[in-house]
Structure 1
C-alpha cells in the first residue's frame, strides 16, 4: 500500500464554506514556516487567496483555535488561490466553535 496524502474527497468541495480572514503560520517540511491567510473554511479544509506556489499533495501543519494542530494537503491550485484538505474531518461541534471564534460577526456566518 502506498504512503502519502489520500486526496480523495474532492467532491466534498461543495460543502458549507464559511468566509473568514484568519492568518496562520503553516509548517512545511521543505520550506519551513509559511504565512497564509485562510479566506474560507469548511469541516473538510480551507482556501487561501494568496499563497506561495505549491503542488497538489504538499503537506502543511496549521494551528486553529479549538482544534489545535492539524495537517492539511494541497488538493487544488488556481494561482494565486490554493485549496487544502484536512487530514481528517473536523467534528461538527468543534467546527462551529472554531467558526464562532474566527468569525465573530454573526452576519458573515452561514446559517446553520
Structure 2
C-alpha cells in the first residue's frame, strides 16, 4: 500500500454515531491481522480507541455481524484514536440489526 487510498471525503461527521464496545479482528495488507477496539459505529464508518501504527489512507477488511466483510479506510488519526470510512454505506435495516447485536444496552440503541 505505497500510495494509500485515494479518498474524496465529504463531511460525514453529522452521521449518527452509536456507542459500542466491540473487539474486531481486521485484515491489514502489510500488518496482517490486527485486533481493534471499536468505540462507535455509524452507517458510514467507525472509530477505534487503540490505533496501532495506522496512517490516513490505510485500508482494512473488517467482518461485522449482518453485513459480513466490508472494506474501510483510515480517514483520520489522533493520539491513539482513528476514524474509518466504509467503502459503502450500510443500509438502515442492516444497521439496526448490527446495533442490536453490538449494543447490549437497549437504552443506547436507535429508537424504532
Q: TM-score with structure 1 length normalisation?
A: 0.90
Matched with 1:82 is 82
Higher helix share: 1
The alignment status of 1:54 with 2:62, answered yes or no, reads no
Matches of 1:77 and 1:7 in 2, distance apart?
15
1:1-112 superposed matches below 5 A: 5-112=5-112
Structure 1 stretches of 5 or more lacking a match? none
* Cα-Cα RMSD: 1.6
Structure 2 stretches of 5 or more lacking a match? none
Q: CA deviation at 1:18?
A: 0.2
Matches of 2:6 and 2:16 in 1, distance apart?
21
Contact 2:96 2:110 survives alignment (8 Å):
no
Q: How many residues are paired up?
A: 110
